[in-house]
Amino acid sequence: MSQFTETLYDGYGQQFRIDELLYEEKTDHQHLLIFHNDLFGRVMALDGVVQTTEKDEFIYHEMLAHVPILAHGSVTRVLIVGGGDGGMLREVLKHRGVQSVTQAELDPRVVELCRLHLPGHSQGAFDDSRVELVYADGLHFVSSTDRQFDVIISDSTDPIGPGEALFSADFYRACKRCLTPGGILVTQNGVVFMQPEEVATTAGHLRGIFADWHFFTAAVPTYVGGSMTFGWATDDLKLRRTPSDTLTARFLAANITTRYYNPEIHKAAFALPQYVRHLVGKMETEAP
C-alpha cells in the first residue's frame, strides 16, 4: 500500500495510507487524486493538498452554509464559488426558502469525478431544479454577472494556483457588488495557526470594503494545525449579532438535520482567541 503525503506546508505535514487508489488525473487546471483511507473514507486531493474527506466534511460544509443563511434569516438566492465536490450545495439546499443556487466552479472534472467517486457529498444535489451550475473562473463570474445574491459562499482551494484570485481585494469587491442589501459573504480562510498571513491579508482587504467583517472558526481534523478559519463580511451590522433565541427559532423552523452545527456553536464560533484578534487587528471588546 502506498502513502499520500500532503505538500501544503514546508517542514510540516500529514500522511494518509492509500488503501485503495480510486482515480488520478491531471485535469486542464490541476492534479486530482481520489483514494480510500480506512480511517477517513474517500479522500480528494488537488495539487497535493487534501480538499475533503468523507469522515469530516460535514463540519466544514455545515458551518460555511448554515451560519450565513440562518444569521440572515430570509435567504432566497445563493452563490457558491468553487465547491465542486457538492457538499456545500447539499447543505444550502436543505433550506426550503432557498429558491435558487448558482454554483461557479472552475474545473468540470472535479464535479464529474466527485459525483462518481464521492456521491455522499452531493447526495443528488446537482440534480435539484433550483441549481444552476456554471463552469467559470470565480473572479470573472462575480465581476461580470448582473445577478444579485443574499449569500455568497467562497468554497475555494488555498490561495495557490487556481484559488489565488479568490483571496484578492478585487474578488471581495466584486462579491460586494453582487450582494443584495444586507447580503453576506463567507469565505474559506485556512488554518489560522498555520496560515496567519492568509487571514491577516483577508482582514486587510475586508476592512476597506465591508461595514462589518470578522472571522469564525471550526475544528476540522483533516485541515491539520488548529482551527479552520472562515471569513465573514456584510454591510448589515446586526447580522453577526443575531440573538441566540432568533437563531434557535430559525434553526427549528428550517427543520434541517445537522451533525455539527447548532445555534450555540454558531454564536461561539465568532469568539476569537487573542492571538487571532491581534493578527487581524480586532482587539476591541465586543460581543461575538
The residues that are catalytic are: 155
For the record, the C-alpha cell of 45 comes out as 486531493
For cell 493578527, the residue is 279
Question: What are the backbone angles phi and psi of residue 219, rounded to the nearest 5°?
Answer: -90, 115
Which DSSP string corresponds to the chain? -EEEE--SSSS---EEEESEEEEEEE-SS-EEEEEEETTTEEEEEETTEEEEETTTHHHHHHHHHHHHHHHHS---EEEEEE-TTSHHHHHHTT-TT--EEEEEES-HHHHHHHHHH-HHHHTTGGG-TTEEEEES-HHHHHHH----EEEEEEE---SSGGGGGGGSHHHHHHHHHTEEEEEEEEEEEEETTT-HHHHHHHHHHHHTT-SEEEEEEE--TTS-SS-EEEEEEES-TTGGG--HHHHHHHHHHHT---SS--HHHHHHHT---HHHHHHHT--S----
Torsion of Cα atoms, 229 then 230 then 231 then 236, to 10°:
-130
Rg (CA), the chain: 18
Distance (Å) of CA 81 to CA 48, 94, 134, 160, 260? 21, 18, 10, 16, 22
